[in-house]
Chains A and B, each alone.
Chain A
Amino acid sequence: MKKLEGKIAVITGGSSGIGLATAKRFVEEGAHVVITGRREKELKEAAAFITRNVTTVVGNVSRLEDLDRLYAVVKEKHGHIDILFANAGAGTVAPLAVATEAHFDQTFDVNVKGLFFTVQKALPLFNDGGSIILNSSVSNVLGLPGFSAYAASKAAVRNFARAWTLELKDRKIRVNVMSPGAIDTPALATTTGLTAEQAEQAVAQFTTQIPMGRRGMPEEIAAAVAFLASDESSYITGMDLAVDGGMAQV
């Protein structure tokens, strides 16, 4: 059965990792997806990987004019939105003692402000009865050295879902949080600022903390996001779904 037949879904940060795997899964479930990302080349490659029912819009969620352009494209192409996966995020490593203002601002601009306006600007196009999924992280309840700004920004995201569940209840729009644990994506190596050796050490350390004894695959997060996006989760709202191999649960 196709759980998302004919649905229109927007996915920010859709060109790699969790966002890309989710876009592919949504299309397999029958949806049309509009994906955004900052780099045109990667977006084009993502669209080729997804193969069909995909539209790309280059943009940065922390820039409001980019979001306006995104939703203008969605409006023109589809007229409405059923599902929003606000997934774009940033997280560089910076210990408290040496973190710069730029590091703090960049983290909160993308993860908090960017996500806030990603949702706000989607609302006029949203169908009543739709589903919004906010990508947080199990770091929203964990302490990880060097990740304080990131973890705090993800805790903010978790809490957005609480107020928005109430604000959007009359429109029957459900709002839930996805909290992945350590996932095998390119982000750890490419965006955190870690060297290859440091990234490898981080993976080894994560793995010892995960009851399932391994990192997750982006496709495993995508399967859970598809659940939250579909009517299969019709009585679930305001919830934080941890998909972390047990990392933050025990």
Chain B
Amino acid sequence: MTRLNGKTAVITGGATGIGLAAAKRFIAEGAFVFIFGRRQEALDAAMAELGPNARAVKGSVADEADLDRLYAAAKAERGTLDIVFANAGVGSQLKLGEITAKHIDETFDTNVKGTIFTVQKALPLMGKGGSVILTGSSAGTTGAPGFTAYSASKAAVRNLARTWAEDLKGTGIRVNVLSPGATATELAKEALGEEGQKAYGAMTPLQRMADPAEIAAAAAFLASSDSSFMTASEVAVDGGLAQL
């Protein structure tokens, strides 16, 4: 399977979880991948798994200078970019009544502002046939206790794709949203424990949490020409959680 042969991809939040699973999948389909993340240790561990067709750049999507370094590295080695998976995100919970300005700022700086500049700064390297994928969330269309900032930020991300499909008209660059539900990343498994994973799984019609590879498969679909007539769409990979 070589749908992404010769393509160059950037994946933010690419050192762990969904981002790392997508990096593996993109490389397996023939792509060259730049992963971007904040922790050197996680980047190093990811690189050991990803092999020769990957590069790591350390940085935060909330920092424009870091993003500039990311794209300078991509330009220097590959010249152009075909796929941007704007996947970096944060999410902590605070109930209404306890919300602080700092909590809102941290959430929106990464999830919304970070996504906007991740894509804006990638555009000079992209052209016809390019695919931008934004990581939304089933939280973007549902309510859950304590998720004020996270849910609102992911609803914002979903809506970015609408405007950008119009802004990118005529460029041949597509932009779509990938909205995972409860996904059993290493981090989530650690945080939830066995019981917690069962409880999250039980909320979905499929009765289980997602494997990160299942989210990565949908990302590969959106990255490839198999989704060539899709733009501004949302693909919910959530076991039906927010679909019924």
Contacts and interface: CB of A to CB of B under 8 A. Distances in A.
A28 interface: no
B5 interface: no
Contact of B229 (A1, A161, A238, A243): A243
A217 interface: yes
A212 B229 contact: yes
A223 B239 contact: no
B221 A232 contact: yes
Contacts, number: 122
Closest 4 CB pairs of A and B: A249-B232, A238-B243, A238-B240, A216-B229
Contacts of B217: 231-234
Q: How large is the interface on A (under 10, 10 to 19, 20 to 34, 35 or more residues)?
A: 35 or more
Interface of B: 1, 161-163, 165-166, 168-170, 174, 181, 205-207, 210-211, 214-215, 217-218, 220-221, 225-240, 243-244
B230 A224 contact: yes
Nearest to B210: A235
B236 A212 contact: no
Given A241-B233, A246-B165, A249-B232, A235 B206 contact: yes
Contact of B237 (A211, A217, A235, A245): A235
A104 B67 CA distance: 56
A242 interface: yes
A220 B236 CA distance: 19
Contacts of B214: 234-235
A223 B169 contact: no
B233 to A, nearest CB: 5
B206 A169 contact: yes
Interface in A62-82: none
Contacts of A169: 205-207, 240
A239 interface: yes
Contacts of A118: none
A250 interface: yes
Contacts of B235: 236, 239, 241
18 contacts: A165-B205, A169-B206, A211-B166, A213-B170, A216-B229, A217-B229, A232-B220, A233-B221, A234-B214, A235-B215, A235-B218, A236-B238, A238-B240, A238-B244, A240-B243, A243-B230, A246-B231, A250-B166
A35 interface: no
